[in-house]
Structure 1
Amino acid sequence: MPTSSPEDPARFPDLAEFISGWFHQDFDINGDTLEEVVGVFRREVQADYAERVSLDIGRFLASEDGDLNDRFQRMFQPDIIPTAFRPTTREFLEAIRSELSTAG
């Protein structure tokens, strides 16, 4: 049975799908800020999917090995720069997780 490498985005499938689907080069279709983009996401998806993204973020942050920004870039190859939204990649991910848990 094949095993996933530490750099395999399949280890965090919901986060990988979220990043590629919502924080791509045309992310601003859904808003100009992290809060706006995540707000549209929350309105358009089932709550359990948003929860799975949040859980993946927690697991990704907890599995930190080395430079988080480099790992994030290698693993998810985002079309955006997380530090354009927050000072660090960690803060970017934590802000998304916080927005996902906000009621409303």
Structure 2
Amino acid sequence: MHKRYPELGQLIGGYFHEDYDLFGDNFGEVMDAYIEGSSPDDRAQVLKEIERFQTDNAGQLEAAYRKEFIDHIDLSLWGFTYTSFLEEIKV
């Protein structure tokens, strides 16, 4: 599905979707669920993929995010921009 960013795609698509509340009531709880359910290697790969995604899409981050990951939730409702969301999910 997300060939270039598979672990990042798993985090976003698997945890931050319309049913995110299965994992928690807020951003922190959802991230805690991801951390609990993932390995240190997975989390290290997410970090690498976020950094690569940011570099690959400098100047067009929002459009690239929407194209690559689709908006499953409205990040602004949680007080995030696309840039701040990616920074916040670095684990």
Report the TM-score when normalising by structure 1: 0.77
The alignment partner of 1:10 has SS state of: coil
Root-mean-square deviation (Å) = 1.7
Worse-matched range after superposition: 64-73 or 25-34: 64-73
Aligned to 2:12: 19
Query: Residues of 2 paired with 1:17 and 1:78: CA distance?
Result: 14
Which residue does the alignment assign to 1:49? Answer: 42
Unaligned runs of 5+ in 1: 1-7
Distance in 1, Cα, partners of 2:85 & 2:17: 15
2: distance between equivalents of 1:57 and 1:50? 11
Aligned length: 91
Q: Please report how far the alpha carbon of residue 96 of structure 1 lies from its aligned counterpart in structure 2 after TM superposition.
A: 0.7
> Over alpha carbons, which structure has the higher Rg?
1
Provide structure 2 residue ranges, at least 5 long, that are not aligned to the other structure: none
Which residue in the other structure is 1:33 paired with? 26
Any idea what the Cα deviations from partners look like across 1:58-101, whole Å, max 9, x if unmatched?
1111212443112101111131122222331100110111xx1x
Amino acid of the structure 2 residue aligned with 1:24? H
Identity %: 30
